[in-house]
Structure 1
Amino acid sequence: MIKKFFKDGLIYIIPTILSRGISFFLLPIYTRYFSPSEYGFIDLLSALYVVLALVLPLEVSQAVSRLMADEKNAESKSELVSTAFWFTFCVFAVFGVFAMLIPQVIAQALDGDLRHVTAVRIAGLAMPLNALLYAVQNQLRWSLAAKSSSIVGLVFTFVTATVTVTLLVLFDMGVEAVVIGQAVGSFIGLCVGISSARKHIPLIFSFQISRLKHLLNFSMPLVLSSATYYGATFADRWMLKTFMSMEDVGIYAVALKISSVVGIIISSAQMALSPLVYSRYKLPETPGDINRLFGYFLLFALSLLCTLGLVAETLIEIMTDASYHQASGLIVLLSSAVIFSGAYVFAPGLSIAKKTKQIATISISVMLINLSLNYLFIPLYGRMGAALATLTGSIFLFLLFVFLAGRYYSIPYNWFKYILSIIIVTIFLLYGMIAGFSGVMVIPYVLVLLSLCLLLINSEDKQKIWCELVRKGGRNNI
């Protein structure tokens, strides 16, 4: 399982790095062509799509991920994923018509005025295409076709970036350029994805009510869970808009974009681990393997967090316009929140046991915590208050998942090592920031930290890694 995790994780992490690299390439362009207010609108529009992508299809993609493994043959699997795909198409088609006919309602809700009505109307086409692309990518993931899923993601990112930059720089189209880029990228990525799916579990013109009921029986309790989870995730942006301004949303969104570098580790771990857990959770060695993988995850995530925290101010100054430089103070808190909010994947007990109601309860609890803290902190501390509320909510999310999941699928976590490593990183990071470490000074500092955090890896794994390095070194000498 561990070898398969790293193999698939590497396949996923390469396109993720490339995708995030392209996003970083776009950030300096965006922050020079868009004011913080315009960038804030783009971020809120993206947040709206993420929530709709979960709520409108009633989370059938999550049902596919869990139920496809129970299907006995390729034909039944194809019927299952096709039913989910066409259901997603139908519900988003209705939303697309709504967005194109009365975009004023959505524009008013997002921005408080009608400046971006055209962008909302175009989003009525882009969002359905993106939802279908997401469904196809998930289908490839659950088919364990990691390479195909990654290629589809790369095609989408490259086409979206190319079209967006062309329309923005050469034609000065403004916010509309971003939405058109998303629409074109989603369409081409969807075509590539459907073609790739034919080699694994092909999509067919099949929509079976019985299968839809089977999917919805599993997914319906997750709708409230996911809606509240993402409601909590995006509560900071919405409440910043309410209590502060759209400019604050834009600055905060830039800090989130930089913090998403840590998401490279999160996304790769989630995409590689979940299919493996669902297919191998009955094996006796799987709980121990999950614990070991969690140690590797923390090793890389904490090292990346420390590096990012030390170079945050310099990175913001290089990559953004002066109007966004206040974002640097938010990056450490938001990066930490990204780590905690994604680490729950290493506590899969509730999903394995199909305890969707408990998952929903966790999400509702975290949403209430997040909303309450944002309501209290933002009027007092502004953007910093939103970041603190987000981090606190993420920590609660992780702890609740670990506590409740252990009742159904016990994993022997090495908590002493994990907590000690987090304390070490916190001390090193605070000292480095106070001492003003930057530039090349960061490299040896992080290397020392990395060597200390090696205690996250057990002695057996260290020995295997060392033997592998010696073996490969011997081959090279020959």
Structure 2
Amino acid sequence: MKKLLNETIIYGMGSILPRVITFILNPFFIYFINKEEFAKFTNLYAWVSFVNIVLSFGFETSFFRFSAEEKNREKAFYTSFWFLLGTASVFLISVLLFLQPISEAIGYGAYPEYVKWFAWIAFFDAIIVIPLAWLRFNNMPIKYTAIRITQILVQTLVVLSLFLFVPKSTSQNLGMETGVSYTFVSNLIGSLTGVLLLIPIFMKVKFQFSGDLFKKMLKYSYPIMFAGLAFMVNENFDKLVQIRLIPEGNAGAYGGCYKLAALMTLFVTAYRMGVEPFFFKKMHDANAKQSYAEVTEFFSLFAAITALGIIANISWLKTLFVPDQAFWVAIDIVPIIVIANLFFGIYYNLSTWYKVTDRTRIGTYISWSGAIITIALNLLLLPKYGLMVSAWATIAAYGFMMIISYILGQKYYPIPYKTKKIGVVIFVLIVFSYLSYSVFDSNVWIGNTLLLIFAGSIAFGEKKLLLSILKR
């Protein structure tokens, strides 16, 4: 547990800090980009997220799974890398050859340069998936973190320079006509920086490819890829369809306020980075199930405190990170999306059973059941009831996935989770969130009083654990 906590903190810096900087830049983008352009910004990055899932093909998790077997450790590294390099190259060449038709098909025929830039971003991001995973598996969180932080710092310096210092005429001569262009170009340079920093890891790759292992890895990974696509549907389908089903300004407001809820996503992401290798390294231990149960319990408790902390402070967070009041028409989505991300974090813990038992296909079915809920609710209700539908669809999808994964997991790989305790914590979180946000109208004093009561109760219940940590 101590090792997991240490690595989660370090990995968290590498995965959270880039998102924190992006989060901090959100009000900056809102200031320079109007709601209509912000809708395009959100929509394009939604497309990028889907492409990244397809190009990685679930091979990051597959690499962790088969590297856990000593005989396959090196072969898994080489085989995974060459496969992803090949698929990414085919994608990039295809986009560049058919740039205009693809741009028109996704609604950006007037901006083919956007599509070209995002193709290069997706290519660079895909080829560093396995080198970064290699660092995580080989317990090099500091190197991983240093690379991720350097990437985002370079990207941030470039985008600030383009907005604040580079003359607009110069940017236009370089093919950057709008503020959205600046975000893409800076992202492209940041992604290229990651490739350059990982050259020492690229040098470790040998010209070897195991066909037999590849078949096993592919069989294991393709359901994860489809599950990843389902996750991206839950995360981004709303942003893809809103621009067509509701006024573009409301879609932009939704995207801007959604990023405020990303504070919870940061917490969940940091945890995921540290816990995924941990799950596979523990899978053969005699006490693996007990470890999984304890990790899930601790995550649920601390994530619930984090969620209420965000919800209790929305009144001042929105003025800081969403400074344009025109965006506040969507602020009511934040508590819902925050709790939805908590549900997803718990689901991620509960998904351990199908990963360590090689039943990844069932994980795909669970993920797509949630995606179907997202798609159906958005398409059926969004035009009539507006942007709040997307938020409720997200929490419904993740809540369903969390429950169904628990039920199936207890059938195939029973783990002694403290479900009653976690259930009570979630119930109290929802009640306190409703009181803080709706009944007391986001009063910061009442909200934080409820937060102190909530956190204090959990701390009192876990006093033995906390005292043991303090003694260490």
Say which of 280, 283, 286 aligns to 2:285.
283
Structure 1, residues 78-104: CA drift from partner, whole Å, max 9, x if none? 332222122212222222223333333
Q: Quote the residue 2:173 is aligned against.
A: none
Cα contact 2:58–2:223 (8 A) shared by 1: no
Deviation at 1:143, TM superposition (A): 2.5
C-alpha distance in 1, partners of 2:247/2:79? 43
Q: Give the Cα–Cα distance (whole angstroms) in 2 for the partners of residues 107 and 67 of structure 1.
A: 38
**8 Å contact kept, 1:295–1:456:** no
**DSSP-derived class of the 1:260 partner:** helix
Q: Which residue of 1 aligns with 2:185?
A: 180
**Which position in structure 1 is the counterpart of 2:97?**
101
Aligned-residue identity in percent: 21
Aligned pairs (5 A) from 1:55-74: 55-72=54-71
Residue 466 of structure 1 is matched in structure 2 by 467
Q: Which residue of 2 aligns with 1:231?
A: 233
Instruction: Write out per-residue CA displacement over residues 185-219 of structure 1, whole angstroms, 9 at most, x where no aligned residue.
Output: 11111222342577xxx333333434432321222
1:399 to 390, 397, 403: 403
Moved more, 90-99 or 188-197: 188-197
Structure 1 residue 145 corresponds to structure 2 residue 140:
yes
- Do structure 1's residue 40 and structure 2's residue 26 form an aligned pair? no
**Corresponding residue for residue 211 of structure 2:** 209
1:297-316 correspondence to structure 2 within 5 Å = 297-316=299-318
Residue-by-residue CA offset, 1:17-71 (whole Å, 9 max, x unaligned): 4223311221111111112222222222222222222223432222112111113
Q: Residues 242 and 248 of structure 2 are in contact (CA less than 8 Å); yes or no, is this contact kept in structure 1?
A: yes
1:437-448 equivalence runs, <5 A = 437-439=442-444, 442-448=447-453
- Name 1:326's counterpart in structure 2: 329
2:154 matched residue in structure 1: 159
Q: What is aligned with 2:341?
A: 338
Q: Sort the Cα spacing of 1:17 and 1:357 in 2 relative to 1 into closer, same or farther, 3 A.
A: closer
CA contact (8 A) 1:137 1:152 kept: no
Deviation at 1:127, TM superposition (A): 1.4
Quick one: distance in 2 between partners of 1:204 and 1:96?
23
**Aligned-pair CA distance for 1:240:** 1.5
Higher relative contact order (CA 8 A, sep 6+): 2
The worse-fitting range, judged by mean Cα deviation, of 188-197 and 137-146 is: 188-197
User: What is the letter of the counterpart of residue 83 of structure 1?
Assistant: T
Amino acid at match of 2:454: L
Aligned-partner residue type, residue 328 of structure 1:
I
Does 17-26 or 345-354 show the bigger shift? 17-26
* Residue of 350, 366, 382 corresponding to 1:378: 382
RMSD of the TM alignment (CA)? 2.3
Which residue of the partner structure matches residue 113 of structure 2?
Answer: 118
* Residue 388 (structure 1) shift: 0.3
Q: What are the Cα deviations for residues 378-412 of structure 1, in whole angstroms up to 9, with x where unaligned?
A: 12321101110111001111112222122232211
Q: In 1, are the aligned partners of 2:250 and 2:330 still within 8 Å (CA)?
A: no
Q: Say which SS state the counterpart of residue 410 (structure 1) adopts.
A: coil
**2:123 matched to 1:128?**
yes
Decide whether the 8 Å contact of 1:51 with 1:227 is kept in 2: yes
Report deviation, 1:235: 1.8
Q: Conserved in 1, the CA contact under 8 Å of 2:20 and 2:266?
A: no
Q: Who is 2:435 aligned against?
A: 431
Contact 2:315 2:442 in 1 (8 A): no
Query: Which sections of structure 1, spanning at least 5 residues, go unmatched?
Result: 473-478
Superposed CA deviations along residues 308-338 of structure 1, whole A, max 9, x for unmatched, are 1122243223333233122311101111111
- The Cα of 1:355 is off from its aligned counterpart by 0.6
Question: Is the Cα–Cα contact under 8 Å of residues 89 and 132 in structure 1 kept in the other structure?
Answer: yes
Q: Distance in 2 between matches of 1:343 and 1:35?
A: 36
Indicate if the aligned counterparts of 1:144 and 1:275 stay in contact, CA closer than 8 A.
no
In the alignment, which residue of structure 2 is the partner of 1:475?
A: none
Q: Does 1:417 align with 2:421?
A: yes
Q: What does residue 189 of structure 1 align with?
A: 194
Partner amino acid, structure 2, of 1:342:
G
Give TM-score, length-normalised by structure 2.
0.90
Runs (5+) with no aligned partner, structure 2: 169-175
CA contact (8 A) 2:440 2:446 kept: no
> Do 2:60 and 2:133's aligned partners in 1 also have CA atoms closer than 8 Å?
yes
8 Å Cα contact 1:313-1:328 kept in structure 2? no
Give 2:220's match in structure 1, choosing from 213, 218, 221.
218
Q: Report the CA distance between 1:456 and its aligned residue.
A: 6.2
Please tell me whether the aligned partners of residues 18 and 154 of structure 1 are also in contact (alpha carbons under 8 angstroms): yes
Whole-Å separation in 1 of the counterparts to 2:192 and 2:423: 45
Give the 3-state SS of the residue equivalent to 2:198 in structure 1: helix
The 1:416–1:383 alpha-carbon spacing in structure 2 relative to 1, beyond 3 Å, is same
* Deviation (angstroms), 1:442: 4.5
Code of the aligned partner of 2:348: V
Indicate the SS of the match to 2:380.
helix
Equivalents in 1 of 2:433, 2:368: separation in Å?
32
- Give the drift of 1:441: 5.5
In the alignment, structure 1 residue 317 sits paired with structure 2 residue 319: yes
Task: Give aligned pairs, total.
Answer: 459
- Return closer, same or farther for 1:319/1:222 CA change in 2, 3 Å cut-off: closer
TM superposition score normalised by structure 1: 0.89
For residues 445 and 340 of structure 2, the distance between their equivalents in structure 1, rounded to whole angstroms, comes to 27
